[in-house]
């Protein structure tokens, strides 16, 4: 199916890995600079989102062709969910 081919291309390591690495690398300094600047609940959501981005980068490094896993992790990044605990209400 053409939609599957397009989605696999968009999820491919060649397309998303570098931008996710850049975001992953910028997150810790941002978190440190904004600790105490935003409310605790929102800050926790950003920390969880960072964990999801780290998990996504790791999946690109170890399982770059596991598109169902990559899609699931990308969805979790989108809603700021815990990689270990699953997603909030977006599944």
The dihedral sign for the CA sequence 79, 69, 23, 41:
positive
Residue 1 domain-assigned? no
Q: Structural domain tally of the chain?
A: 1
Tokens of 21: 């690495």
Residue 5 placed within a domain: no
Give the Cβ contact number of residue 56 at 10 Å: 24
pLDDT digit string, tens, across residues 29-84: 999 999 999 999 999 999 999 999 999 999 999 999 999 999 999 999 887 654 44
Higher per-residue pLDDT: 39 or 6: 39
Q: How confident is the model at residue 20 (pLDDT cuts 50, 70, 90)?
A: very high
- CATH number at 53 reads 1.20.120.900
Determine, yes or no, domain membership for 7: no
Full residue range of the structural domain in which residue 49 is found: 18-79
Helix segments in the chain, DSSP class H: 2-11, 13-34, 40-62, 67-79
pTM of the full structure? 0.79
């Amino acid at each position: 199916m053409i939609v599957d081919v397009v989605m696999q291309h968009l999820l491919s390591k060649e397309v998303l890995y570098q931008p996710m690495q850049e975001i992953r690398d910028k997150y810790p300094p941002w978190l440190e600079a904004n600790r105490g600047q935003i409310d605790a609940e929102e800050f926790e959501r950003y920390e969880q989102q960072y964990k999801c981005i780290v998990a996504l980068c790791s999946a690109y490094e170890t399982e770059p062709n596991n598109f169902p896993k990559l899609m699931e992790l990308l969805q979790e990044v989108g809603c700021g969910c815990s990689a270990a605990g699953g997603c909030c209400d977006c599944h």
